[in-house]
Structure formats: C-alpha cells, structure tokens
Structure 1
Amino acid sequence: MTEYRRFLRRLVRNYIVGSVLAVLCVGGAVISSALKLPIGGFDRIFIVLLVSFLVMISLELLTFARQVRPIRGLFLKEHPSLDEIRDAYVQIHRLPALSVLRIMGPHMLGLSVPAILLTLWFIRIGWIELPVYYIGIAASGAVLVAGMHALIEYFLTDQAIRPLLQLVSETGERLHGERVSLDGRVIVSTQRKFQLSAFSIGAFPLFFFVLATQIRLTVTGSPLVEDYWQWASLILVFGIFFSSLGAWLLSRSVRQPIANLEQSLRAVRTGDLDVRASDLYSDEFSRLVSGFNHMVQGLSQRQRINEQLLQSYFSTLAAALDARDTYTAGHSQRVAEYSMLIGRGAGLGREELDLLNKTALLHDIGKIGVRDNVLLKDGRLTDEEFEQIKKHPALGEEILKRVEPLEMMAPLLPGVRSHHERYDGHGYPDGLAGTDIPKFGRIIAVADAFDAMTSDRPYRSGMPLEKAISIISEGKGTQWDPYYAQIFVDAFYQEKEKPEAPPYRAEA
C-alpha cells in the first residue's frame, strides 16, 4: 500500500499543478477582466461558485474512486489472482485517458451546470444583476480551462503511472511467475494522441484570445464589440482549420514510421528474419529503424548458425547410428535424400521439407535399443528376433520424446513411429492403413524400402535399381502410398532419361 499511497499523492499533486496552470493561463485573464464588468451581487456570485465547487468535488471524487477501485483492490489483498493483477495493470494504463474524461465530465460539468442554473435563478429573482450573455462567456471560459487542464493532466498522469506499472508487473511475476504486460494491446493510439494534443495546443490559445478580446471590448465599451464576432468567427474558422491540418500532418509523420516498424515486427513474429524496415526517415526514427534492422540481421545470422548446428547434429547422430553396421553405412542419409526427392515432388513447403529431412535422418534411431546379435546378424532372423526389430519404430519415438525441448522433436515423432506401416494396414507397430498413416511415415516408407532393396547385405547383394523401382511400382496401394510411390517412380525415370546422368543414388 505504500507505493499506492505515493502514487495517489503524485496524482493529487499533478491535479493541483494542472488546475493552477490552466486557471492562471485562462481563468486568471478572464476573471481579472470580468471583475471590471458592471456586475451586481458579487457576494451571491461567491455562493454560486462555492456550491458549484462542492458539487464538482463530490462528483469528481466519486468518479475517481470508481476509476481506481480495481487498482486499490489489488493492493488490499495479500495474494491477488493473476486475472486481478492483469485487470489492475490494464486499468492503470487507462488512467491518463480516464483523467481527461473525468476533467471534461464531472469536473467541468459538475462546476458549470450548477453554476449556470443557480446564476440564472438568482438573476430571475433579482439577487444578481448580470446580463445573461455573460453566462455564455463564463461557460466558454470553463471549457477552455477544463481543456487545458485535461491536456496537462493527461501527460502528467502518463508519467505518474510508470512506477506503479512496474510494481504491478513484478507482483505478477513474484506471485504467479508471469510478468504481466499489454502484449501489444493499444489503449490510446499514437495517432489520436498526437492529433488531439497538437489541435489543442494550436486551438486553445486562439480561443483564449477571442474570448479575452470579447471581454476586454465589453469592459472598455468599444464600438468594435458590435461587429466583433463577424471577423472573430472568420479567424476562428481559419485557426481551427490550420490546427486540424497541422495536427493531422504531425500525427501522420509519426504514424508512418511506427506502421513501418509494426509491419516488419509482424513479419519477424511469423519467422521471416530476412525482412528489413524501410529507413526513410531523418529524425530519431532513423536510429530506431537502424537498431531494428541490426537486431533482425543478428537474429538471422544466429538462426543460420543454429540451423547449421542442428542439421550437423542430426547428420552426426544418423551417422553414428549407421556406424553400428558397416553394411548399412549411409542408409539414413540416403533415405533422407530420397524422402526429400519425394517431398519436393509433392510440393511440400520449405518448413515441411526441413522437418521431413530431420525425420528421415532419425527414422531408425530406435535401433539403438536393438541388441547387436540381432541387428548385426548375418543370416535370416527368427520370428523372435524379427519381433525385436519391429519394436524399433516405437522405441525411436520414445527416445526422441526424451530430447528437450519436446516441442522441437514433436513434429518428428509421427514419421519415426510410422515408417514401417503399410498402406493396406498390415504394417507395424500400429497397423494403420491409408491416409491414417502420418504423411512423413508414408514418404519415408518408400525411400526406406528402396534403399534397403538396393543396398548390399552380408547374406545378399543389392538388387538392380530398375528391379527395385518395379517392386515399388507394383506395391502401390498395398505396401506403399500410391501417390508418393508414383512420385518416386516418376523421378527415377526422369533422372534416368537425362543425358550422362549421374547414378541415381546420391552417396554424398
């Protein structure tokens, strides 16, 4: 509660500072001129102002209490929930805009409406001698005072809330392990803030001058007062137009680089680290854009290094697995190359091809858990030994589940587990059929079978490539997915028809 009380003291201080500045700038000049007006019943005018002030304070205090209720409630509880902390955090961010509404609402209307009604009543019963149009002048002055006060209060409150926001954010992390933030949510847009601020700065002095001149002409009894509003209205129209245009141009000059950076940030969030923000600005935004581009360039370089390290890790792991059996050396790498050939033919995207490559490299990782006397046996396997071999897809999935972070390995698991499933449902370990078999499993099954058939074994030589392709073609729809099998067959014959084509199998 100590920080909350300190925050309230800052708000009260800011409120007093804003009120004094606004009253001194506008109210002082208007009131000093109004004192020279031929007004009777100043003692009763004081009563009007006192009653109106009490009404204003009552309404404003009630409104302020409602605005800070979620914030105050947070500091009254020892262990607030995360939702309560988030609600308080958002409400603190809304306080600057709410201060404007409070001043232009309960503050201004709470003073002006009772004052106008009481003054009209006192004029009617003869307690105050005052021309009725003076009330309109006073009401205009109240709007100017409130507008300037609201402008000052907004920016003072915007600074006052920063320490409290930091405290609330740290409270969320301390109690619930989550540092709360707006996460990109916009409470007040920069464009609106600049437009209203620039318009107010340009228009308020003009309105003040017109109002003060009207009072001055009335006090001095100048004959110019009769046609004053004819030329004053023209000045106001041009002044408001220029203020509005200037505010729009200023907000646009700020909004454009922000929009440029937002667009680039959205691209980065989707994984595009080649994006660069356009450096078209000569002010401080040039530094911001340059810093952003340097940051993204660094992230892009780091990502390329990480990708190279990760690819090297997968390739090394696959090579270590293949090294257990000199007769199958290079098997995982070749299966990965054949799988990529099928994936490109099927029109897979860059990310899917990368995941397919990693899955194919590790498709036999489960063989780590198979005994050497079974895995490296020269002759035919017994039924019991074959059952041991058949466990390697599920074992490979279990091994990869233990690699952290799990979300990085998760896309590889279905292909590793299902690369020995058959399209007709007679495969293992789950007996899946058709498109129930994961896509990567169906692709790797074709590639794995082709390399197994064409590779030499201690007990047999690899069959000719054409024969293996013929078997793949005949097994479409039974052992292998007909779509992916046909892509592989077509790729083989296309490669064969090329003049002086290198061997189909890529050993490197």
Structure 2
Amino acid sequence: MMIYQRFLRDLIRNYIIGSGIAVVVVGGVIISTTLSISNTEMGRIFFIMTISLGVMMLAELLVFRRHMQPIRALLEQEAPDLAAIRDAYLQTHRFPALSVRRILGPHFLGLSIPAMTMASIGIAMGWLSLPAYYIGLAGIGAVLVASMHALLEFFTTAQAIRPVLIHIREVGQRLYGEDVSLDGRVIVSIQRKFQLSAFLIGTMPLFLFSLATQIRLISQSSDFTVDYWKWAGIILLLGVGFSSLGARMLARDIQQPIGDLYRAMKEVQSGDLQVRASDLYSDEFSRLVAGFNHMVKGLEARESMNNQLLQSYYSTLAAALDARDAYTAGHSTRVAQYSLLIGKAIALSEQDLDLLNKTALLHDIGKIGVRDNVLLKEGRLTDEEFEKIKLHPVLGESILKQIEPAEAMAPLLPGVRSHHERYDGKGYPDGLKGQEIPEFGRIIAVADAFDAMTSDRPYRKGMAVEKAMAILAEGKGTQWDPRYAQTFIDVFMSSHHVKTTSHVS
C-alpha cells in the first residue's frame, strides 16, 4: 500500500507542476499581459476560469480513477493472481500515454468547453467587452497550452512509474517465479515520441508568440495587421517546417542504431553468434554497440566451450560403451565418421550434421542394458539371445529420454530407435518400411552395417572392403536405403581410392 501512496503522491505532484507551468504561468501570463480590459472584467474572466477548472478536475478525476483501478487493485492485495499482475504491469506501462489522453481529453474539453460557453454568454450579456472572435483565439490558445501540459505530463509520468514496475515484477517473481515483461511489445514508439516532442518544443513558442501578438495588435489598423500576418505566416511556416524536419531527423538518428542492434539481437536469438553490430556511431550508442558486441563474443566463446564439452560427453559415452568389448572398440566413432560422409555428400546443414554425429555416436547406447553373456558371446547367438539383442534400439531410446534437458536429446531419439530398420520393412523394432524410417536411421544403418562387416570379431575376421561394398550394393532397396547406400559407396570409394572386385550398381 505504501508503494501505491508514493506513486499517487508523485502523480499528483507532477500534475500540479505541469498544470502550474502550462495553465497558470503560460495561460495566465498571456491573458494578463495581452488583454487590455478593466480589473472588473479581468475578475470575471478569472471567475470563469475557476469554474472551468473545477469542471475539468472533476471530469479528469473520474477518468483517472478508472485508469488507476488495475494498478491500485494489485498494490492493495497481498497475494494477487498472475493475471492481475500482468494486467497491472501492462497498465502501468500504458500510464504515460494514458496521461496524454487525459490531458487532451477530459482536461482540455473540461476546461475549454465550459470556459468558452460562459465567455460567450458573458459577451452576449454585456458582462465582457471582448470581441466575439476572442473566443476562437482562446480555443487555439487552449489547444497549445494542453499540448504543452501533455508533453510535460508524459515524461514526468514515465519517471514516476518506474518504482511501481519494479515492485510488480518483484511480486510476480516472489509469488509465481514469473519474470513479468512486455515481451517486446511497444506501447509508444520512439519515432512517435521524438517526432511529436521535438515538433511541439519547436513550434509551441512560435504559435504562442503569434497568438499573443495578434491580440495586442487588435487595436491597430487592418492594413498593419495584414502586413503583420504576411510576415508572421512566413515565420510560422518556416518554423513548422524546420521543427518537422528536425523532429524527423532526430527520430531517425535514434531509430537507426536501435534498429541495427535489434536486427543483430534477432540474429543472436536465432543462434548466429558470429553476428556483430556495426559500430558506426560516435555518441553514447557507440558504448552500447561495443557492449553488445563484447557480450556476443562472450556468448560465442561460451558456446564453443559448451559444444566441446558436449562433444566430449557424447564421445565419452560412446567410448564407455565400446570399452565393454575389446573387439568393437571404436565402433561408435567409426559409424559416426561413416554417417558424416553420407550426410556431407547429400548436403545436410551444419546443424543436421551435428545431430547426425551425436546420434551415430550413441546409436548403440541401448547395449548397456544387454547382459555380458549375451553381448560378448563369441559363438552364434540363439534365437532367444538374438531377441534380447534386438531390444537395444528401444533400450537406447529409453535411456536417452531420461537425460536432461529432454529437448537436447529429442532429435537423437528417432535415429537411435530406427537404425536397425530395413528398407523392405523386415527390420526391427517397429518394422518400418522405406521413407517411414527416419532419415538418420537410414543413414546410420548403412554406416553401421559397413563397420560391422569390415571389423574383426572373435569368431571371424573382418571382410575386405571390396566385398562389403558389393554386399551394400546388392542390398540397396531391400536392406538399405538405395540412395544412402550408393552415396556411401561412391564417397568411400572416391576418398579411399578403393576398387571393388564386383560390379557396384
């Protein structure tokens, strides 16, 4: 509750200061120094202004209470729900823009409509000796004063909401572990903020001066007034044009580095840590760009270290598995190398090649769950023992599912489970056929078979490369995917300068 009272106090203080500067100082000074009327009529004008201010404050108070309601409801509760926290956070961010709406809405209309109405009645009843068109001039002046007040209110409110935003975020974090934010939502764009602010700052004095001078020149001859407005019109056009151009250039000068940083940030979010923001600025944005680039360099170095650690992790797991059997040592590493030969030949992306490498390294991880007397048996396996061996793809998938983070393991699961499926549908564990088999499973099946055929076993010596190639060629379209089998044959033969003894088609 204390944070709410402090917030309310700051808003009221800022409102009084803004009103004092815009309405009392500017409006009052113009009225008192430009109108040549009696003290009695001046008193009547200030009476009209007082009544109008009362109407304005009442109208604005009603709107202000409605705008404050979500924030007040949150700050007065000890344990608000998450939806209320998010609503209050958004409403607090909208408060500077809402303050402008209040100034240009109930504030401006609540003041100007009663004042102009009572002034018109006063002129008609003879209580005021002012020309009727003064009311129109007063309306123009009211627009200028309201715009100045809105500008002041926007920026003072933007400062006042900061403690409230911090408090709301702390509440969300404490109660729900939620880091409440706008998630990139833009309430008021920098372009609009800078253009309108610079335009008002540049043109406000010109319009106020022209308006006050016109009132002072009422008693002069019409020819003099016409000459004045010819000159004043040129000055106003030049002032408005220069202010508009300056506001546009200022907004663009601010937007450009922010846009460059935002685009670089999006690249980083998509995983590109090679990106760097262009250091083309000589103001404070140079520091921001340098800090951003330094941060990305740090992320790149950390990513490289993490990748090395992960690669070591996968390699260590594969080595630990292969170490169970001296005759299959290095099998997982070789299968990964052969799989990458195929992956590179068919132009897989760098990301897919990395996933293929990791999948191939861990393709036999399920054999950890197979007993030594079955896995390491030197002779021919019985049907029962072979059925146990056939469980290792499913066991491997189950093991990897238990490793966190789950999303890091998920891309590896299909290849691990399906590397013993056959292209003709006679493989295991699911009997998948053709393109139903995941791509990594079809690639690893070729690499795994080649290494198994060419590696020594206790009960046989590894066959010659030429013979293994011939078997792969004969099994295209039945046991192995014809495209990947032929690709491996072509790439391996080319890179190792192998000549087969039989025809490979």
**C-alpha displacement of 1:360:** 0.2
User: 2 CA distance for matches of 1:361 and 1:95?
Assistant: 56
**C-alpha displacement of 1:38:** 6.0
- Map residues 244-263 of structure 1 onto 2, 5 A cutoff: 244-263=244-263
Residue in structure 1 matched with residue 479 of structure 2 by the alignment = 479
Letter of the 1:315 partner, please give it: S
- Map residues 17-416 of structure 1 onto 2, 5 A cutoff: 17-23=17-23, 25-37=25-37, 41-218=41-218, 224-416=224-416
**C-alpha displacement of 1:50:** 3.2
Contact 2:99 2:154 in 1 (8 A): yes
User: 2 CA distance for matches of 1:245 and 1:92?
Assistant: 32
User: 1 CA distance for matches of 2:50 and 2:26?
Assistant: 20
**C-alpha displacement of 1:44:** 4.2
User: 2 CA distance for matches of 1:76 and 1:263?
Assistant: 40
**C-alpha displacement of 1:485:** 1.7
**C-alpha displacement of 1:126:** 2.9
SS in 2 for 1:227: helix
**C-alpha displacement of 1:85:** 1.3
SS in 1 for 2:217: helix
Q: Report which stretch shifted further, 283-292 or 145-154.
A: 145-154
Contact 1:342 1:487 in 2 (8 A): yes
**C-alpha displacement of 1:445:** 0.8
**C-alpha displacement of 1:364:** 0.7
Letter of the 1:359 partner, please give it: T
Residue in structure 1 matched with residue 429 of structure 2 by the alignment = 429
Structure 2: give runs of 5+ residues left out of the alignment. 501-505
Contact 2:476 2:485 in 1 (8 A): yes
User: 2 CA distance for matches of 1:50 and 1:188?
Assistant: 34
Q: Render the CA deviation track for 1:201-259: whole Å, top value 9, x for unaligned.
A: 11111112212222333478898445322211111100000111111111111111111
Q: Report which stretch shifted further, 452-461 or 38-47.
A: 38-47
User: 2 CA distance for matches of 1:172 and 1:496?
Assistant: 62
**C-alpha displacement of 1:21:** 1.6
**C-alpha displacement of 1:442:** 1.2
SS in 2 for 1:170: helix
Q: Residue 454 in 1 paired to residue 459 in 2?
A: no
Letter of the 2:340 partner, please give it: M
Q: Report which stretch shifted further, 458-467 or 7-16.
A: 458-467
SS in 2 for 1:477: coil
Residue in structure 2 matched with residue 506 of structure 1 by the alignment = none
User: 2 CA distance for matches of 1:214 and 1:40?
Assistant: 23
How many correspondences in the alignment?
A: 500
Contact 2:3 2:75 in 1 (8 A): no
**C-alpha displacement of 1:392:** 1.1
Letter of the 2:441 partner, please give it: G
**C-alpha displacement of 1:369:** 1.4
User: 2 CA distance for matches of 1:211 and 1:463?
Assistant: 101
**C-alpha displacement of 1:74:** 2.0
User: 1 CA distance for matches of 2:135 and 2:443?
Assistant: 85
Q: Report which stretch shifted further, 137-146 or 255-264.
A: 137-146
Relative to structure 1, the CA distance from residue 37 to residue 237 in structure 2 (aligned partners, 3 Å threshold; closer, same or farther) is farther
Contact 1:97 1:154 in 2 (8 A): yes
* TM-score between the two structures when normalised by the length of structure 1: 0.94
Contact 2:137 2:211 in 1 (8 A): yes
Relative to structure 1, the CA distance from residue 115 to residue 214 in structure 2 (aligned partners, 3 Å threshold; closer, same or farther) is same
**C-alpha displacement of 1:407:** 1.4
Contact 1:96 1:153 in 2 (8 A): yes
SS in 1 for 2:282: coil
Contact 1:112 1:142 in 2 (8 A): yes
User: 2 CA distance for matches of 1:235 and 1:397?
Assistant: 79
User: 2 CA distance for matches of 1:275 and 1:112?
Assistant: 55
Letter of the 1:488 partner, please give it: F
**C-alpha displacement of 1:358:** 0.4
Residue in structure 1 matched with residue 468 of structure 2 by the alignment = 468
User: 2 CA distance for matches of 1:217 and 1:98?
Assistant: 39
Q: Render the CA deviation track for 1:246-295: whole Å, top value 9, x for unaligned.
A: 11111111111111101100000000000000001111100110111111
**C-alpha displacement of 1:118:** 2.2
User: 2 CA distance for matches of 1:153 and 1:502?
Assistant: 84
User: 1 CA distance for matches of 2:47 and 2:348?
Assistant: 82
User: 1 CA distance for matches of 2:308 and 2:87?
Assistant: 44
Contact 2:35 2:216 in 1 (8 A): no
User: 2 CA distance for matches of 1:56 and 1:228?
Assistant: 35
**C-alpha displacement of 1:34:** 3.9
Letter of the 1:140 partner, please give it: I
Contact 2:423 2:433 in 1 (8 A): yes
User: 2 CA distance for matches of 1:279 and 1:401?
Assistant: 45
Q: Render the CA deviation track for 1:414-453: whole Å, top value 9, x for unaligned.
A: 1111111112222112222222221111111111011101
Relative to structure 1, the CA distance from residue 377 to residue 385 in structure 2 (aligned partners, 3 Å threshold; closer, same or farther) is same
Residue in structure 1 matched with residue 503 of structure 2 by the alignment = none
Letter of the 1:61 partner, please give it: L
User: 2 CA distance for matches of 1:287 and 1:93?
Assistant: 27
Letter of the 2:464 partner, please give it: P
**C-alpha displacement of 1:83:** 2.1
User: 1 CA distance for matches of 2:208 and 2:339?
Assistant: 78
User: 2 CA distance for matches of 1:380 and 1:130?
Assistant: 117
**C-alpha displacement of 1:32:** 1.8
User: 2 CA distance for matches of 1:15 and 1:329?
Assistant: 79
SS in 2 for 1:15: helix
**C-alpha displacement of 1:488:** 1.3
User: 2 CA distance for matches of 1:65 and 1:219?
Assistant: 46
Structure 1: give runs of 5+ residues left out of the alignment. 504-508
Q: Render the CA deviation track for 1:78-106: whole Å, top value 9, x for unaligned.
A: 43322221121111111111111110111
User: 2 CA distance for matches of 1:58 and 1:52?
Assistant: 10
User: 1 CA distance for matches of 2:40 and 2:75?
Assistant: 52
User: 1 CA distance for matches of 2:499 and 2:336?
Assistant: 18
Letter of the 1:330 partner, please give it: G
User: 2 CA distance for matches of 1:61 and 1:24?
Assistant: 19
**C-alpha displacement of 1:24:** 5.1
SS in 1 for 2:59: helix
Structure 1: 4+ residue segments shifted above 6 A: 219-223
Contact 1:37 1:219 in 2 (8 A): no
**C-alpha displacement of 1:341:** 0.9
SS in 1 for 2:161: helix
Q: Residue 441 in 1 paired to residue 441 in 2?
A: yes
